[in-house]
Structure 1
Amino acid sequence: MNKLGIHALVWAGDLAPESAKKVISQTKEAGFDLVEFSLHEPKVMDLGYTRELLKEYDLGIACSRGLTFDADVSSEDPASVARGMALLEEAVTITAELGGTYFGGVPYSALGKYNHPVTPLGRKHVIESMKRLADFADKKGVTIGIEIVNRYESNVINTAKQALAMLDEVNAPNMVIHLDTYHMNIEETDFVQPVLACGDRLGYVHIGESNRGYLGSGTIDFTSFFHALSMINYQGPMTFESFSSAVVSENLSNALAVWRNLWDEGMGLATHANAFIKGQIEAAHMGKVK
């Protein structure tokens, strides 16, 4: 029932035509239903070619991105907020043009370590921006996902409780919560209560290990997490995410703090992740049946 996805950065560091072909063909070969594109360098893409490749390989598409500190909708500076909104609207437009219906990531702040809490004015700008983004996306048939990230990647939202509060304020039917096990491991008290709290407002899931490497090689309590997903009858996508500077560009590697590589070849990592996730889903289902 759940579409299984994989992040494009497992395969290639950009989405230029040659890379897009590699990403899409290898995603299919590894047994996934969906590929997630990071739109951090959208200008290199050939949208028409990429859309046709997705159709050829019969793959679903999700898109995501984060913002930069000079284009940050949580800033007090209206010019920075405007630049951030322009990037987000561009990303939603690309998502729709690729045939996608989901755009997530971190649309509510820059992706990086802040040296101060979000200010009241900054948070006001976030809420206004998310309302505007949701309205813009709704006209294009796109759902907005609010990914919850750790304190070193945003000062706006770090827990499911905070994300739910934001959704209440924005009050947009096409805005959902995006949980990521890597970030949950840092910020949440466990892997069950946040899932139950989100309930039917959970729309997308990232499956990542605590060390960003092979699933099962770190400290994530996947058993509890997948059982919680089963408890709420979650039927949305589950997308594997892992990063290595063997693939990711130097600038993005630095932004993601990829200081050591736990893999250098994507296919073995991907096929292992696919089997691991399927096994967890099956085990959770059997536990629920019993």
Structure 2
Amino acid sequence: MSRIGIHSFVWSASSAQGDLERTLANTKEAGFDLIEFSYLDPANFDIGGLAKRIADLDLGVAISIGLPADGDISSPDKTIAARGVEILNDTISLTRDLGGQKVAGILSTGHGLQTEAPTRDQWNRSAGTLAKVAGTAKTAGVTLNLEIVNRFESNLLNTAAQGLAFIEDTGSDNIFLHLDTFHMNIEEADVGLAIRHAAKKIGYVHIGESHRGFLGTGNIDFAAIFDALTAVGYSDDLSFESFSSEIVDENLSKKTAIWRNLWTDNMELARHARRFIAIGLETARRKAELVASSHRP
């Protein structure tokens, strides 16, 4: 059965110990099973203490990042690529030390708008480097999950099919897809079909609305998405992701163009999302059962 998680930036963008502990408490209070942290700075908190608090609350944990321009592993500049490997290895270690098993996000290239088309050399450099990092991750008991994002946030992997081809070129069995409904809604010809096509390699899923606010108030066909996830037997982690100018993170807000204040009451937003996802998954399961049942007279 899938664990339903929430991105920490619904609660706070701070890495201070007290703020992280409040984030965990809010996550538990809102009924989630997992917390996804981004851009944590270990210098600001006690790793062991946070890991114990996560375990005490019986929460799962994942970490997502987007590589910076000066840490782009697809870069021909060896210093920049080496910085990216260092960031990935540090993130793997932190995930392990907090009790998590998944590193997700934009791991294949720098996060942000690019003004040049990707090259085959760029693709090959990234795939070759990630294959080595995936070996390190496997030793740590952690998987790498490549977020497939829209064209305005990366020039390398914009569709699930591209992600599958990329994973094949790495030759690794420890790299999976991190699919995100917000990005898929922009880039995929059909989100449900893309999920079905990528079924065997999906390791993590973000559930987010077209405007990144309350689920069900945008134009994404979530019924089709939950149907597809149910049809392929996906039972791994799904996390709710939503952003508002109410909470600003320097690393993410500008890159993802979070200009609008789509919500102010984050607990109301979170509780709604938890219900929405749970009901969506249950409804999809019940539909599948009806379709498969044969009521002979």
Shorter-chain TM-score tier: over 0.9
TM-score w.r.t. the length of structure 2 is 0.95
Residue 295 of structure 2 is matched in structure 1 by none
Output the amino acid matched with 1:82. Answer: A
* Contact 2:15/2:40 (<8 A) preserved: no
Q: Residue deviations 1:133-185, cap 9 Å, x none?
A: 10010110101101100001001100001000011111212211111000001
Seen in structure 2, the aligned counterparts of structure 1 residues 41 and 243 have a Cα distance that, compared at 3 Å, is farther
Q: What is the TM-score when the length of structure 1 is the normalising length?
A: 0.97
Matching of residue 81 in structure 1 with residue 74 in structure 2: no
Aligned equivalents of 2:25 and 2:32: distance in 1? 10
Tell me how far apart the structure 2 counterparts of residues 47 and 41 of structure 1 sit (CA, whole Å).
10
Between 44-53 and 229-238, report the one with greater CA deviation: 44-53
C-alpha deviation, 1:77, in angstroms: 1.1
For residues 43 and 264 of structure 1, the distance between their equivalents in structure 2, rounded to whole angstroms, comes to: 29
1:81–1:125 contact (8 Å) kept in structure 2? no
> Does 2:110 align with 1:110?
yes
Structure 1 residues 42 and 119: alpha-carbon distance in aligned structure 2, compared to 1, 3 A threshold: farther
Distance in structure 2 (CA, Å) of the matches to 1:13 and 1:81:
27
Query: How far did 1:40 drift?
Result: 5.2
Q: Given residue 167 of structure 1, which amino acid in structure 2 is its aligned partner?
A: I
The residue number in structure 2 matching 1:10 is: 10
Residues 163-208 of structure 1: CA distance to partner in whole angstroms, max 9, x if unpaired?
0001111121221111100000100011211111111211111000
| Range that drifts further, 273-282 or 34-43 | 34-43
How has the CA–CA distance of structure 1 residues 131 and 227 changed in structure 2, closer, same or farther, with 3 Å as cutoff?
A: same
Matches within 5 A, 1:99-138: 99-138=99-138
> How many pairs are equivalent?
290
Query: Is the Cα–Cα contact under 8 Å of residues 62 and 103 in structure 1 kept in the other structure?
Result: yes
Q: 1:40–1:65: 8 Å Cα contact kept in structure 2?
A: no
Deviations 1:88-127 (A, max 9, x none): 1100010001111111101111110000012222222101
- 2:196 maps to 196
Matched letter for residue 123 of structure 2: R
The answer for unaligned runs of 5 or more in structure 2 is 291-297
Deviations 1:39-90 (A, max 9, x none): 2544323211110110121100011101111111111211110111111110
| Aligned alpha-carbon RMSD (Å) | 1.1
Structure 1, unpaired ranges of 5+:
none
Matched, 1:70 2:70: yes
1:128 CA drift (Å):
1.2
- Find the structure with the greater CA-based Rg: 2
